[in-house]
Amino acid sequence: GAGVSQSPSNKVTEKGKDVELRCDPISGHTALYWYRQSLGQGLEFLIYFQGNSAPDKSGLPSDRFSAERTGGSVSTLTIQRTQQEDSAVYLCASSSSSGSYSGNTIYFGEGSWLTVV
Amino acid sequence: GESVGLHLPTLSVQEGDNSIINCAYSNSASDYFIWYKQESGKGPQFIIDIRSNMDKRQGQRVTVLLNKTVKHLSLQIAATQPGDSAVYFCAESRNFGTGTSLTVIP
């Protein structure tokens, strides 16, 4: 597609359940990012994938959070045993990382709104 | 660690006035900065960027100023309009500042 696509757009889940959030980056973009944004807050970096390199997982808040990127394209963010504090918007983004300065511009999806009840 | 942060979390301006949003960064080696605008319910979108070899860059109604001496950049919006109401983030690579919520008062 033309932009970063995320699904589901909204998810309500019960505490303790696992959830999977999907991201389809812009075609040809080698870099993919996941951020979390709580209501009225800034962007919290979670994880970064670049090509075939090992992902930067330094932002994952706990071992309940994991992400994978298959075939260098689609990514899935998994949250196990969800807690109420996991409620937030999960934003996926991608960039071309072409080596030029403009390759650093990050393009965001509309986000997946997660509510844990 | 390195950080990118904003001085003011909220800003209210009258329609038609100019807006200035500030951002401080700590990594003196940073060489590229981007401003993003996030409207309610949407993901952040690119507004304007600046490289460290520049101190000013202008777009349509927006200007970004970079002061490398004090590691500070600002986003100026001329003749602010209701559609400018949003949260604005400065970013260096994948590191985003806290964000400033701009409200335009009609």
Model pLDDT for residues B69-88, shown as the tens digit of each residue: 999 999 999 999 999 999 99
CB pairs under 8 A between A and B: 47
pLDDT for A100 equals 66
* Pick from B43, B45, B89: CB nearest A111: B43
Domains of chain B: 4-105 (2.60.40.10)
pLDDT digits (tens, 9 = 90+) for B12-53: 999 999 999 999 998 888 889 999 999 998 999 999 999 999
* Token pair in block for residue A38: 């709580």
Local confidence pLDDT in tens for the 117 residues of chain A:
589 999 999 999 999 999 999 999 999 999 999 999 988 788 999 999 998 899 999 999 999 999 999 887 999 999 999 999 999 999 999 998 766 666 678 899 999 999 999
Contact at CB, B43 and A105, closer than 8 angstroms: no
- Residues B58 and B49: their CA atoms lie apart, in Å, by 9
Which residues lie across from A75 on neighbouring strands? A23, A69
Eight-class DSSP state of B28: T
Nearest chain B residue to A94 by CA: give it.
B94
CA–CA separation, B84 and A22 (whole Å):
30
Does the pLDDT at position B99 exceed 50?
A: yes
For A42, which of B32, B43, B98 is closest by C-beta distance? Answer: B98
How far is the alpha carbon of B43 from chain A, nearest alpha carbon, in Å?
5
β-bridge partners, B11: B102
CATH class assigned to A5-110: mainly beta
Measure Cα distances from B88 to A11, B58, B85, B100, B101 in Å.
26, 17, 9, 5, 6
Shortest Cα distance from A11 to chain B (angstroms)? 15
* Residues 44-73, chain B, touching A (beta carbon < 8 A): 44-46, 49, 51
- Selecting from B89, B93, B101 the residue whose C-beta is nearest the C-beta of A43 gives B89
What pLDDT score does A77 carry?
Answer: 98
